[in-house]
Structure 1
């Protein structure tokens, strides 16, 4: 999925390595940076420069979580939207890294129980979503900290989003945009049929959200943690994982917290 670039760094340059997607745009950017800077191998780097789009950044973040790697990431957009990325600019990279603003994001922890009783646990940086697998609508019971807050939601699905993910799938489903400092989670229905007027809820991020599938054999539901899908689930528990944190670096004028706040005024 990515190419590692290795070169011997000099003491006058920051120790960083490049992780790039396999797209032509990203590989062209690798060649440009390789000509300009002394690079080190990934294991010896203090900062990892990620070249690609938001999807590749999410993939890289999950790799970091799986490896227990807490080093900061500085992304440059060589993809499409690039919400999690900085502007592509090959010049002045060392200075940009020195001045970058650090943003900490914490993942959700998804514990999905399948109908056969097996359990799958996965992190999610943007959101955990439940989606109907067939033509029938899903029926889902919603609980917060063990209290049933909605006995039956008839819908295409429902999701729990972090502030970092609130401008992604959550926003397209008409969920709220959450500032990074809000310490909140968004609980947002997907095409709700009953109750029709329920548009979701904003919850403190220290709660446990339990989504129990009603009639799972007749109305099968899949759970998705970012890009990882688990099919035929009967129950999904979602909490914020405070034991793990990831650090994203941004140009001060292009920082993620400011971009999320300004998304509220985009027309």
Structure 2
């Protein structure tokens, strides 16, 4: 009888104790990396996050630049909007789109940076393989459908296109802000600078330890998608990784630096651009 009772008690401990442990934190721990993996699919699927993005105003770019293609490590081709330096140069700025895609606004931003950074090649990567959204519903679908593997392959292809001796800085907005930091990590010793405009930061301190540059982060205090608490955590993680980060927080909404955004903040945009340009000139000087 004692043996049977002991077996029953052992069985009960085995069956029920693990369930109590699993019901507290581990389930959430398995969900968090889906966002931390930086495809942002979880955020794009959130209606609240979608509502942060106003329908963009119509804009048409007319100016210099050409569309190019280049191979990617996954055996495919990728494309980008390229503005070449007037003289031979190993200095590169890789530009990353917002969640809308490589639209005319991003082409204009790339052209403006190219004009203000003499001697620098500027390459705006097409992270959606030719697709561009004009509504937030379509943008959400494109961002959800952008696989982490393909995003990484396009980034690696762009870095390889710049060449073995390239000195690379990166910049991006929103979805592209996140990708700008991933570019800085992927480019390794070629990395000389990184600018993030209200993009989701890398949360893995061990990855941040591999950065070869400091980071300039530009955010909005009214941004509900990338809130101040997330930015503060990024500062803490960078400090823990032994890396430098400069944060500029504006009293502005998500996407405030996009002129095609109805909630565009011209004053904050101008100040942020001056800060960005001074940073990039120092890094690519």
TM > 0.5 between the two? no
Which of the pair has the greater relative contact order for Cα pairs under 8 Å at 6+ separation?
Answer: 1
Identify, as 1 or 2, the structure richer in helix.
2
Identify, as 1 or 2, the structure richer in strand.
1
TM value normalised by structure 1? 0.29
Which protein is bigger by CA-based radius of gyration? Answer: 2
